[in-house]
Amino acid sequence: MLKTFWGGESGWRDEQLDDGTVIWTAPDGRQHITTPGSRLLFPELSEPTATVQASGMPAAHTAGLTMPRRRTTRAQDRAARIQREREAP
C-alpha cells in the first residue's frame, strides 16, 4: 500500500535483500527494516544462496510452427452449416 499511494522519486522506496529482508526508505529518509515472517517457521529456507549465473536461452526452432491456414472461411463454414440444417429431414 505504501508504494501505491506514496511512490515515485519523493515517495517511499524499497530494497529487497537476498535473504528476503525488505528495507523501506520513507520520504524523509528514515529506514524501516522488515524481515520475512517465514524465517520463524522455516529458518533453513532463509539462508542466503549462491549467486545465480544467468544463461542465455537457446535459439528456439520455430520453422513450421505457424498457425495452419483455414481451408474455408468462417462465413463459408456457417453458410454450409445452415444449408445442411435446411436440407435435413
**pLDDT per residue over 51-62, tens digit each?**
878 888 777 777
- 19: containing domain: 1-45
Cell numbers 520455430 correspond to 62
Q: Is 62 helix (H, G, I), strand (E, B) or coil?
A: coil
| Number of domains composing the chain | 1
Task: State the distance between the two ends of the chain, measured CA to CA, in whole angstroms.
Answer: 65
C-alpha cell at 22: 525488505
- Answer yes or no: pTM beyond 0.75: no
Residue 13, in any domain of the structure: yes
Residue 85, in any domain of the structure: no
Residue 27, in any domain of the structure: yes
Alpha helices in the chain (DSSP H): 2-6, 38-41, 74-87
Q: Identify whether the C-beta of residue 24 lies closer than 8 Å to the C-beta of residue 31.
A: yes
Residue 12, in any domain of the structure: yes
Residue 26, in any domain of the structure: yes
**pLDDT per residue over 3-45, tens digit each?**
666 666 778 888 888 777 899 988 888 999 988 888 788 888 7
